[in-house]
Chain A
Amino acid sequence: MKGAPMQKSVQKSVNLRSFLTASWLGWQIESNWTDPFLFATYSTIKPVAGAAILVLMYSIVTQGNFDSPVFAYLYLGNAFYQYVPAVLTGVSWTIIDDREHYRTLKYIYTAPVNIPFYLFGRAVAKFIVGTFGVVITIAAGVLFLNVPLDWSRVDWPLFLVALFLGVLMLALSGLILAGITLMTARHSYYIGDVVAGGLFLFTGAIFPLEVLPNWLRPIGYLLPITYWLELIRRSLVGAVAEAFPTFTALSNGDLLLILAASSLVFGIASIFIFRYCDHQARERGLIDQTTNY
């Protein structure tokens, strides 16, 4: 019975149990509304259509010059940006879903569950669906659009570390949004969309930051996602990323340090902000509010 001790340790750890159970629950909610084929189709059409809009816009203006570094820059940035709304809303939307839709948030609160870990777990399903989208978008780019991705030249350690730190940072940012969502009623639907939309504009996901007006660029430099996307591009297609002047003064190590430090700051901030919002929500009796919005 090799699995028994492990099962015991999982049961003992409230955090791990909360995370794993919520992951399973999130996956069921996300996927069991239809058959696997329709679910797979649904999961791929949206990201592919989103990427196709950009490809067509680019193709119309440049007469299909897909060999330009600009194309690889915007294509890869757009592909990996799919993680941002997926993880941000994955964590924060759970509050709405459980409080307003399923009306189970109060029961979750009364159960022996670590709420932040529960929220992270619920985001796992959206992360997995987002990963489908990223993989399919990149595969389409490599196969049909000459995105210069040479698998043998990919800096895998850098890619994996950057991806892990980035997803962690996004999950912690999602916790901040979840805290705000706990305290709000009618505006909560917009929070994830507004934040993801705003970050899309300011993080240089689909165009270099130099294109933004001077007074808007500092916002991009303050956001960890900007550095995360740059690291992802450098790890996958180093030469392409170096063609743009935004971060040429910074080495991969510098970028990684900035990303790690900002993730730490976000992590600490998210814990305090969520605790504060959670306390306020309990004080005001908002945990089980339903507004029918």
Chain B
Amino acid sequence: MSLFPPIEKKRSGWQLFLMTVVGRSYPRVVGMQRERSWMFFDVFLPLLSVAAYVFVYRAIGAPEDYVGFVVVGGAMTAFWMNVLWSMSSQLYWEKEQGNLALYIISPAPMMAILLGMAVGGLFATLLRAIAIIAVGSLIFNVTYAVSSFWQLIAVFSLSMVALYGLGMMSASIFLLLSREAWHLANLAMEPVYLVSGMYFPVKNLGFWAAAAASVIPLTLGLDAMRQLVFASGPTLGFLSVETEIGILVILSVTFVTAARYLLAYVERLAVREGRLTENRR
């Protein structure tokens, strides 16, 4: 007597793709909610940084809108952390734990696995980001003046597509890495907070530095969101919201397409070089 019921209808094509996406996003959404203390820490940790930067602004007499900039920036750090640790590094963790080889030998497409990680991670992180904004806004009395809800939704959605596309792309690069993966992910925190203007308007980096930083989708996404939700936002914006939306569209298409090709290439390379099961602790 078999332990599992026989598979009567095997899925393939887009159905398999979709099932894989749902299957891989399931532990991200449901699994994370089962460990309630993680939810608390995921909200509490960014709030500590937010509070510290808010008090710095208050100590030097900054306009109150800057407090709001920090709260929104702090919420967006949750997405960057998720992309960095749960997307980019994920295939490295899977390799460390021995799951990667199982992914490769299953009929599920790797792109669907990455997409499932992205969708699940995005949903779970969205809940935390909303909590950070809600709690941060209440504690520090942040006032918002939303000029266009539709543009705000468009900017946020595009930022997320581009950001998680970047995550999928870098996940395939991390597939080739060993111990350095952890160090590189760790390195990509403060420098990215700096260049993407998490805690201050990115315009202040200067045009060329801000333009170079725009390759990170959070930079333009955050800048456009600040322009759309704060009264002083438009005067402190880097580019117009319409231009930033246009660039985010280009970044989204580029990163998702690149992720698809890069993944296929790196997977072949990793198979050829025997790196899929290596474990150099």
CA distance A190 to B48 in the complex (A): 13
Assess the B37–A200 pair: CB atoms within 8 A.
no
CA distance A190 to B41 in the complex (A): 7
CA distance A205 to B59 in the complex (A): 12
CA distance A54 to B234 in the complex (A): 23
Q: Give chain B residues whose Cβ lies under 8 Å from the Cβ of A186.
A: 35, 37-38
CA distance A101 to B281 in the complex (A): 7
Does B180 touch A at the CB level, under 8 Å? yes
CA distance A198 to B49 in the complex (A): 8
Assess the A57–B199 pair: CB atoms within 8 A.
yes
Q: Whole-angstrom distance from the CB of B23 to the nearest CB of chain A?
A: 19
Q: Give chain B residues whose Cβ lies under 8 Å from the Cβ of A111.
A: none
Q: Give chain B residues whose Cβ lies under 8 Å from the Cβ of A292.
A: 97
Does B191 touch A at the CB level, under 8 Å? yes
Does B156 touch A at the CB level, under 8 Å? no
Q: Give chain A residues whose Cβ lies under 8 Å from the Cβ of B52.
A: 197, 200-201, 205-207
Say which one of B60-68, B103-111, B143-151 lies at the interface with A. Answer: B60-68
Q: Whole-angstrom distance from the CB of B44 to the nearest CB of chain A?
A: 7
Assess the A53–B199 pair: CB atoms within 8 A.
yes
Q: Give chain A residues whose Cβ lies under 8 Å from the Cβ of B138.
A: none
Q: Whole-angstrom distance from the CB of A28 to the nearest CB of chain B?
A: 12
Q: Tell me which of B41, B51, B58, B97 contacts A187 (CB under 8 A).
A: B41
In the complex, what residue of chain A is closest to B191 when comparing beta carbons?
A49
Q: Give chain A residues whose Cβ lies under 8 Å from the Cβ of B37.
A: 186-187
* Binary contact readout B112-134 vs A (1 if CB under 8 angstroms, 0 otherwise): 00000000000000000000000
Does A107 touch B at the CB level, under 8 Å? no
In the complex, what residue of chain A is closest to B195 when comparing beta carbons?
A49
* Binary contact readout B55-97 vs A (1 if CB under 8 angstroms, 0 otherwise): 1111111110010000000000000000000000000000001
Assess the B183–A33 pair: CB atoms within 8 A.
yes
Interface of B is mostly: helix
Assess the B191–A211 pair: CB atoms within 8 A.
no
Q: Whole-angstrom distance from the CB of A205 to the nearest CB of chain B?
A: 8
Q: Tell me which of B190, B200, B201 contacts A50 (CB under 8 A).
A: B190
Does A249 touch B at the CB level, under 8 Å? no
Assess the B59–A211 pair: CB atoms within 8 A.
yes
Q: Whole-angstrom distance from the CB of A57 to the nearest CB of chain B?
A: 5
Assess the B60–A197 pair: CB atoms within 8 A.
no
Q: Whole-angstrom distance from the CB of A7 to the nearest CB of chain B?
A: 31
* Binary contact readout A66-97 vs B (1 if CB under 8 angstroms, 0 otherwise): 00001000100000000000000000000000
Show the binding face of B for A, using Cβ within 8 Å.
35, 37-38, 41, 44-45, 48-49, 51-53, 55-63, 66, 97, 179-180, 183, 186-187, 189-191, 193-194, 198-201, 204-205, 281
18 more A-B contacts (CB under 8 A) besides A60-B200, A61-B57?
A34-B180, A42-B187, A46-B186, A49-B193, A53-B193, A53-B199, A58-B56, A61-B61, A61-B66, A101-B281, A200-B48, A201-B51, A201-B52, A206-B55, A207-B52, A207-B55, A207-B59, A208-B59
A–B Cβ pairs within 8 angstroms, 24 of them:
A34-B180, A45-B190, A49-B191, A49-B194, A53-B199, A56-B194, A57-B199, A57-B200, A60-B200, A60-B201, A61-B60, A61-B66, A62-B60, A74-B56, A101-B281, A186-B35, A187-B37, A187-B38, A190-B41, A194-B45, A197-B45, A201-B52, A207-B59, A211-B55
